[in-house]
Amino acid sequence: MVHALFRAPFAGLLACALLAPAVAAAADPPPPNIIRLEPKPMEGLRAGRAVVVKGKAGPDGHRFLVDGLTAMMPVTVLLRPVRKGDDVRLQLSKYAWNQPLREGETGGEILKFKIRTEGEFQATVSAPEAGTAYRLLVWVGDEVKPEMRPVVVKASEFEGAGEGGGLGSMVLWVIAGLLGIGVVLLALLVLRRKPS
């Protein structure tokens, strides 16, 4: 008799334990899909690499990641709606997706950001209406290597070499002489002071 009393509640408890993970998984939204963009040399580009994305955005947005950048590489991000007058939004971030460092809306026109960063950056494209078609272009320029003059030069190559010092060294001697006279006068004033 006791066995039959526990069988029905045990079956209900077992069913709840088995269904709980499925219910919890259904309540959680799926994680966002992040697409890694890899700019490549394109026909018609004289310098740098680019990638073009065609998509249809909605309120949830599409997320993109571009990595492998250095601060010496210029980056341009262009976003335009396919249909003139559509509104598409672009957010650029570095660390957290929900903390954009730059953001803007197309307002039916082309939106353009020029940036430099080290490592990677993230872009989110969204639109108020689901199914809004857009084109995203990310251009990464070639690394700029500025020409640096050498820090150490030979005495024979120095600009002032062979001129005997010129006017610049005369000014330094006058300043040194005036400082020396000031120190001597200060010492005389201190030494001549009468004890009280």
Tell whether the model's pLDDT for residue 165 goes beyond 60.
no
pLDDT at 190: 85
Question: What is the reported pLDDT for 18?
Answer: 56
Residue range 23-33, pLDDT digits in tens = 555 556 667 78
Confidence of residue 1 (pLDDT cuts 50, 70, 90): very low
Q: Can you give the CATH number for the domain in which 38 is found?
A: 2.60.120.510
Q: Is residue 23 part of a domain?
A: no
Averaged pLDDT for residues 76-83: 93
Answer whether residue 52 is part of any domain. yes
- Of 66, 86, 68, residue with least CA distance to 135: 86
Is 17 a member of any domain? no
Mean pLDDT across the chain = 82
Query: Alpha-carbon distance 51 to 154, whole Å?
Result: 48
- 163 exposure class (CB count in 10 Å sphere: 0-12, 13-18, 19+): exposed
Q: Which range of residues forms the domain containing residue 78? A: 34-140
Task: Convert the pLDDT of each residue in 80-136 to its tens digit.
Answer: 999 888 899 999 999 888 888 999 999 878 999 999 999 999 999 999 999 999 999
Please give the residue that has the higher pLDDT: either 135 or 6.
Answer: 135
What is the C-alpha R_g of the chain? 35
Say if residue 143's pLDDT is above 80.
yes
Name the nearest CA neighbour of 73 among 166, 144, 138, 130.
Answer: 144
Q: Confirm whether 54 is domain-assigned.
A: yes
Residue 179 inside a domain? The answer is no
- Whether the pTM exceeds 0.85: the reply is no
Q: Is residue 85 part of a domain?
A: yes
Lowest mean pLDDT among 12-16, 98-102, 167-171: 12-16
Strands (E), the chain: 34-37, 49-57, 62-69, 75-81, 89-93, 102-105, 111-115, 119-126, 132-140
Residue 74 in any domain: the answer is yes
Domain annotation covers residue 124: yes
Task: Please count the structural domains in the chain.
Answer: 1
Residue 189 has pLDDT above 90, yes or no: no
* Cα torsion angle, 99, 104, 105, 111, sign: negative
